[in-house]
Structure 1
């Protein structure tokens, strides 16, 4: 979730709660994105940073990226899968760069059981449970940032 009306309302809500002494430790962020239309990643980082300034953890609790729009007859091509992979890795990198980002979870793992419909191919593994380019992109990002 980047900087938008909804995230501003959540920010104001949790800031007010913190001011009143309400015990709140973190906020879950949901990303149900399309390849062609989503929040800028700089806005996502800014949102995480302002929540960190309140002393809050952030958790990416739901992430899926539609390879093609819902209801589209367009196939999810190799080029689109590569774009999807880059975006998955970029969101993971944004989380890794934010000290208060404590978890990164996709909203399922296989296109076979996605809530959106298999034609959108939104998850890291295909309907046959085979890894898509997003898996390699995220693994490579982790390997380049952390030694094993």
Structure 2
């Protein structure tokens, strides 16, 4: 298929997207249909490709298969706030994505309010505690109120824990200027701006029982003890076909967060194909990992299973062919594995 990258006006194309029709008699159920029947949010990250008229398969796949979406980049701070002036915040792309989701009956996860890797230059210029706290408060309040009840799930803080020995908080996080309680501040401000929203901490390499997931557990347990309004934890799950759900202790890890009364969500799932073997063997192993991830998610009564993209064509890890649709939007064995789990798990 020929998938060109030209784009038309976001607003015009957003309005052209239609709600996924009801299943015709005898038609196989979609992921969306099966997930919705379980009360599970299942979907993925969307980009400007949603509005690419030369690639209609993107929008068609999203609207057929996903009951939830998350902006891959359009809601990050660098995309919205190149200027500290809230009158100059850039919401057009994100608004178009939300409008499309509303039109198609999809839930939107907000991603992400505070992340060191998406901070624009002006944030790094702030070196005084009071000024940083004021800037964080202004940004979070403006963004969360802008979307209001159109977005009731937010990744408030993303990737604040380092990968270094002992897994302390990152020492390169510009928001730390606001003080050691900057994470708690972010959650309190988001809650004040939208008391109805479910607020999450999100991170990577925390899927199994390990030092980093222990650090995350201690972090969120401390936030809860201090009365901070945190409601969920996002496990990104950027993995490869060598990952073992069993050997990593993933179910026990997720369960301990559920036992704190928190929502558990897999938020950025993709599984790169690596190692030796034929393409068929790699696809089978990828399908196995996807199936085990969803089974584990359901076993702990997770509330969301989100993939980081739609097809291998536009994935940020395209070389590893990590998603459930190939570059031509054809269903891979991993798609069938998810369908099977949704049809059979717990029955």
| TM-score higher than 0.5 | yes
* Secondary structure, counterpart of 1:105 in structure 2: strand
**CA positional deviation for 1:54:** 1.0
Structure 2 residue aligned with 1:105: 306
* Secondary structure, counterpart of 1:62 in structure 2: strand
Map residues 1-148 of structure 1 onto 2, 5 A cutoff.
Answer: 1-37=207-243, 40=246, 43-68=249-274, 77-99=279-301, 101-116=302-317, 118-145=318-345
Question: Whose RCO is larger (CA < 8 A, sep 6+)?
Answer: 1
| Higher-Rg member (1/2) | 2
**CA positional deviation for 1:66:** 0.4
* Secondary structure, counterpart of 1:33 in structure 2: strand
Would the alpha carbon gap of residues 32 and 10 (structure 1) be closer, same or farther in structure 2, given more than 3 Å must change?
same
Would the alpha carbon gap of residues 2 and 127 (structure 1) be closer, same or farther in structure 2, given more than 3 Å must change?
same
**CA positional deviation for 1:63:** 0.4
Question: How many residue pairs align between the two structures?
Answer: 141
* TM-score (normalizing by structure 1): 0.87
**CA positional deviation for 1:36:** 1.9
* TM-score (normalizing by structure 2): 0.38
Contact 2:311 2:324 in 1 (8 A): yes
Out of 37-46 and 11-20, give the one that drifted further. Answer: 37-46
* Cα distance in 2 between the residues matched to 1:10 and 1:141: 28
* Cα distance in 2 between the residues matched to 1:37 and 1:131: 22
**CA positional deviation for 1:48:** 1.1
* Cα distance in 1 between the residues matched to 2:307 and 2:268: 5
**CA positional deviation for 1:113:** 0.5
CA shift digits 1:10-52 (9 cap, x unpaired): 1000000111111110001111112124564661111111111
* Cα distance in 1 between the residues matched to 2:322 and 2:287: 10
Contact 1:68 1:75 in 2 (8 A): no
Contact 1:61 1:104 in 2 (8 A): yes
**CA positional deviation for 1:119:** 2.5
* Cα distance in 2 between the residues matched to 1:33 and 1:68: 10
Which runs of no fewer than 5 residues in structure 1 stay unpaired? none
* Cα distance in 2 between the residues matched to 1:62 and 1:121: 15
Contact 1:67 1:84 in 2 (8 A): yes
Contact 2:295 2:345 in 1 (8 A): no
